[in-house]
Chains A and B, each alone.
Chain A
Amino acid sequence: MAAHPGGLTAVASSGTVRSAVGSSSGTAPATGAGNAVSVRNLIRSFGPKGVLNGVDLDIAPGEFVALLGPSGCGKSTLLRALAGLDHDVRGSGVISVPERVSVVFQDSRLLPWDSVLGNVTLGLREHDADSRARKALAEVGLAGREKSWPHELSGGEQQRVALARSLVREPQLLLADEPFGALDALTRIKMHGLLQDLVAAHRPAVLLVTHDVDEAIALADRIVVLDSGRVATVRTVTPEISTAVDAAGHEALRRDLLADLGVVGTSH
């Protein structure tokens, strides 16, 4: 029933009901019906300090949501809660996620002792894992690098392997925690294009955690701004605005988001 296997030293986070959408047990909360992700009244705290103070969030199947916020606002905590990676964190609330969830981290997190292909097939049980992994690597433009060690690749290439590893599982939900944060500006722009192509091809629901307003506008259908552990604002991005920097409304949206984040007087 639980969507996530327990960790090495799993301590159940108290009070949280976690369920997989589409499971037949019928305990999935009614609020999550039709959505890929449904989060209700999520509370998480480290020690006495509350990090998430009652977050509600829905993500439709195939929807791309960017989670924006200043450092320490709880956006990574929310993503880790959705990924089931917060065993030792106290809290409560209701989380419902699909069965197949993939996570892309800020670091590519490739096992240094396994080849590129081995990293992509990690955890795949299907007999055609290798051929599917080769296909995924070709999709991210790394055909022919299957036998390389991770350290032989550039930072951008390593992150592309991480994307291939996520997508080879055909996730219904892709969680990405500042996946391009460690890349240089040019590589980041190329990766934006690649991610858009991959998402268009595989149609997972996406939750992208970022602190980059322009990245959020370029990629997301909807931008959720988190502040002090609560959803502060939600802004919709129309396709016209996201595709062109000089489109009407682009600059206004950018200014609004910066204001949401408490950055005022930025002129460029």
Chain B
Amino acid sequence: MSAAPVLERPAVEPHLDPALAAREDVRPTGRRLGPGRRRRLAWLLGPSVLLGLWTVSSATGLLDPRILSEPWTVVATAGELIADGRLQENLAISAQRAGLGLFFGIVVGAVLALLAGLSRVGEALIDGPVQIKRAIPGLALIPLLILWFGIDETMKVLTITLGVFVPIYLQTHAGLRGIDLRYVELAQTVGLSRAAFIRKVVLPGALPGFFLGLRFAVTGAWVSLVVVEQINATSGIGYMMELARTYGQTNIIVLGLAVYGILGLLSDGAVRFLERKALSWQRTLAG
């Protein structure tokens, strides 16, 4: 038998069918340029490495607890705050604010994007103002919002909404505008009504853009939340951290940061999960 170029490692996992698994499987294997198959929970690796570094630096005394509390102190603090109910209470309020702001922002952004994407009049009316809003840092509006709405929940939810709707609008609008004109022609030749055209072509075609916007929006919602909760708030995770700053309680500040981080990671994961389900027709490197 002549020597064929054969890689040492097995190219693929054994076949599921036991009859085939026993057979010889020798093949030349080229270099693969794509990132390969998806692995479950692979996204946990990066955060775990960070957590590991933090733990080791604290344990070896490399990291002064006055600068950054040790992980176990933060866990203990979490235990105490859960025991006396403060963490859940503040978390529930924070989640409610972020959720409401996100909901209104998604609705406003998606509706504006549809109006601007489907009619020239809509685009002329809507796109300019949104671009102006985009140029103004969302947090610079807070003084005005406080003057108008006071410091209650309305102001907080509105600030988050204003931060959320912009990326939803931008990405959904870009998605709509990016729909191939060939599909529009097709819709015309098969005689789709306008409603059916929107349902069958426009909405599915804009969905990838919408999900991209949603990922920006979810992150943006937490960012806005942090800011509104550290200004004149009397509840919420941000308030809890702000209070801890006054008393120099690094452990509570770090706990707040960890909670924000976990919430952000979980919500991004949730959006990505939805995205994979909704866009299963796509064939991309993300797999």
CB of B204 within 8 A of CB of A111, answer yes
CB of B188 within 8 A of CB of A107, answer no
Q: Is B93 an interface residue (CB 8 A)?
A: no
Interchain residue pairs with CB less than 8 A apart (6): A85-B185, A111-B186, A111-B200, A111-B204, A112-B282, A151-B281
Name the segment of A1-9, A66-74, A235-243, A260-268 touching the other chain. Answer: A1-9
> Within A82-140, which residues are at the interface with B (CB < 8 Å)?
83-85, 101-103, 105, 107, 109, 111-114, 122-123
Which residues on the B side are within 8 Å of A113 (C-beta)? 204-205, 207, 279, 281
Give me the 3 closest cross-chain CB pairs, A-B, nearest first.
A123-B190, A113-B204, A103-B189
Complex alpha-carbon distance, A99 and B33, angstroms: 51
CB of B196 within 8 A of CB of A123, answer yes
CB of A4 within 8 A of CB of B204, answer no
B186 to chain A, nearest CB (A): 5
With most chain B CB atoms within 10 A of its CB, the pick from A9, A84, A112, A151 is A112
B278 to A, closest residue via Cβ? A113
B181 to A, closest residue via Cβ? A8
Q: Is B183 an interface residue (CB 8 A)?
A: yes
B196 to A, closest residue via Cβ? A123
A110 to chain B, nearest CB (A): 9
Q: Is A165 an interface residue (CB 8 A)?
A: yes
Q: Is A254 an interface residue (CB 8 A)?
A: no
CB of A111 within 8 A of CB of B183, answer yes
CB of A102 within 8 A of CB of B281, answer no
Which residues on the A side are within 8 Å of B184 (C-beta)? 7-8
Complex alpha-carbon distance, A123 and B120, angstroms: 25
A165 to B, closest residue via Cβ? B190
> Within B165-212, which residues are at the interface with A (CB < 8 Å)?
182-192, 196, 200-201, 204-205, 207
Of the residues B182, B192, B201, B204, contact of A105 by C-beta under 8 Å: B182
Q: Is A255 an interface residue (CB 8 A)?
A: no
Complex alpha-carbon distance, A169 and B118, angstroms: 28
Which residues on the A side are within 8 Å of B207 (C-beta)? 113
Complex alpha-carbon distance, A171 and B228, angstroms: 62
Which residues of B are in contact with A by a Cβ distance under 8 Å?
118, 120, 182-192, 196, 200-201, 204-205, 207, 279, 281-283
Other than the given A4-B188, A84-B188, A151-B283, 17 more pairs (CB < 8 A) read A7-B188, A8-B184, A85-B188, A101-B189, A102-B189, A105-B185, A105-B186, A107-B182, A109-B185, A109-B186, A111-B186, A111-B204, A112-B281, A113-B281, A123-B187, A123-B192, A151-B281
Residues A123 and B191 in contact in the complex (CB < 8 Å), given A9-B120, A114-B200, A151-B283: yes
CB of A122 within 8 A of CB of B283, answer no
Query: Interface digits, A144-170 against B, CB 8 Å rule (1 contact, 0 not)?
Result: 000001010000000000000100010
A86 to chain B, nearest CB (A): 10
B180 to A, closest residue via Cβ? A109
Complex alpha-carbon distance, A169 and B186, angstroms: 14
Of the residues A83, A102, A109, A169, contact of B183 by C-beta under 8 Å: A109
B275 to chain A, nearest CB (A): 13
B127 to chain A, nearest CB (A): 16
Which residues on the A side are within 8 Å of B185 (C-beta)? 7, 85, 105, 109
> Within A1-24, which residues are at the interface with B (CB < 8 Å)?
4-5, 7-9
Complex alpha-carbon distance, A73 and B35, angstroms: 46
CB of B281 within 8 A of CB of A149, answer yes
Which residues on the A side are within 8 Å of B186 (C-beta)? 105, 109, 111, 122
CB of B190 within 8 A of CB of A122, answer yes
Complex alpha-carbon distance, A111 and B282, angstroms: 11
B187 to chain A, nearest CB (A): 7
Which residues on the B side are within 8 Å of A7 (C-beta)? 184-185, 188
With most chain B CB atoms within 10 A of its CB, the pick from A107, A113, A122, A169 is A113
A164 to chain B, nearest CB (A): 12
Which residues on the A side are within 8 Å of B279 (C-beta)? 113
